[in-house]
Amino acid sequence: MFVTAIIAAGGRGTRFGGTRPKQLMLIGGRPILDRSVSAFTGHPLVHEVVVSLPGELAGDPPEYLRQSTRPVRVVAGGVRRQDSVANAFRAIDQRSEVVIIHDAARPFVSADLITRTIAAAAECGAAAAAMPARDTVKRAETDDRRPGGGESARSGDAVMVVETLPRETIFLAQTPQAFRPDVLRSALALGITATDEAALAEKAGHRVRLVQGEATNIKVTTPEDLVFADAIARSAGLQAAPNVGRAGTGYDLHRLVPGRPFVLGGVAVPSAVGASGHSDADVACHAITDAILGAACRGDIGQHFPDNDPRWKDASSLDLLGRATQLAADAGFEVANVDVTVVLEAPKIGRYINDMRRAVAAAIGIDASAVSIKAKTNEGLDAVGRGEAVAAHAIAMLRPVQH
């Protein structure tokens, strides 16, 4: 069964406030959007993921979407929620048999809830996660009959109970919500405004099965919700950025061959031979990149920039270094300093080291005084010592981003 996940992240979070979209805010050192998307890119039943983002973000999506373990398609959102979902729905694979939709603002959805929602929709056409009401539920209305009513009554100061509803019949809707494509298509075709796709499906005449939701599957709507979200992240061991620094190490080695430019620390060094590789084969930048990714626990350079991907053919390693720095930032860290030791016999690079420090610092976004680059020989030993290869060792120190 081919399953498509749509992550609804096209809103601007007006109730949340601030200038930054709430889906980019950090919880436990990791962006809300990254957590929500990863729940689906890492799920064994999900074949593709489509994310709707505000227009300005869709044109330049966060690095973690571009470097996801599973391809993520990004589309521009619309004015209303269902417009964003409709834009994403138009981009899904035609093989899709179930479309599961999730709010980006719900970062703690479990794999089990995703599985159960997909199964329910496959069986009956439409399903939505929901939690049964725990409190007694009152239906109310504004009392505009009180003395002096008028404006204050319309402001909602006096709210009166109309009736008490049977609690066992009340469920609080969550996401994910899943649908067979024909059901979702008819629901979106109504064109009316609704707060979720299940409501549209109901209006279109479809029955929606409720799937037991999860108390931890909270929706981040206001800044106060971040407190509860951080608590969930801590209790579940999902806090990515403890309030301490981190260190990571990196190593790289490339064979030296004629006819290749010799690029080191982002600087072209005059040489009769250059490093062989898929990108520009800059061992200093590659070692630093791995050190940063390692400190942030975000994998390694081969995972994010594989040498069988044509996108990285002859790529600037300074660019890859900048992308790795952004991945660390997405995890809640910034680079404090890096230290690199380059091991080679020739050419001598001493006169170029300050240029390398400045180039590396610019790619990372730190001052050159926080970048150390040193050169050593291998005293004639092994391939490096024979002048057949160049190697680099690096260490990077990261610290939590301060807000």
pLDDT, tens digit (0-9, with 9 covering 90-100), for 377-388 = 988 889 988 989
Dist CA 97 CA 183 (whole Å): 11
Can you give the C-alpha Rg of the chain in angstroms?
27
pLDDT for res 403: 47
* Burial of 100: CB neighbours in 10 Å, binned 0-12, 13-18, 19+: buried
Which CATH fold topology does 246-400 show? 60s Ribosomal Protein L30; Chain: A; (3.30.1330)
| Parts of the chain with a pLDDT under 70 | 12-19, 68-69, 144-157, 236-244, 402-403
Dist CA 229 CA 225 (whole Å): 6
Which CATH fold topology does 3-135+170-235 show? Spore Coat Polysaccharide Biosynthesis Protein SpsA; Chain A (3.90.550)
Dist CA 106 CA 128 (whole Å): 14
In three-state secondary structure terms, 298 is coil
- Tell me which long-range contacts 140-149 makes (C-beta under 8 A, separation of at least 24): none
Which tens digit of pLDDT belongs to each residue from 12-52?
655 565 567 788 888 877 888 989 998 999 898 999 999 99
pLDDT for res 239: 53
Residue keyed to tokens 């521009």: 76
Burial string for 257-293 (b: 16+ CB within 10 Å, else e) reads eeebebbbbbbebebebbbebebbbbbbbbbbbbbbb
Please write down the HEC assignment for all residues of 88-156.
HHCCCCCCCCEEEEEECCCCCCCHHHHHHHHHHHHHHCEEEEEEECCCCEEEEEECCCCCCCHHHHHCC
Nearest to 85 by CA among 11, 24, 6: 6
Q: Where are the domains of the chain?
A: 3-135+170-235, 246-400
Nearest to 341 by CA among 251, 247, 268: 251
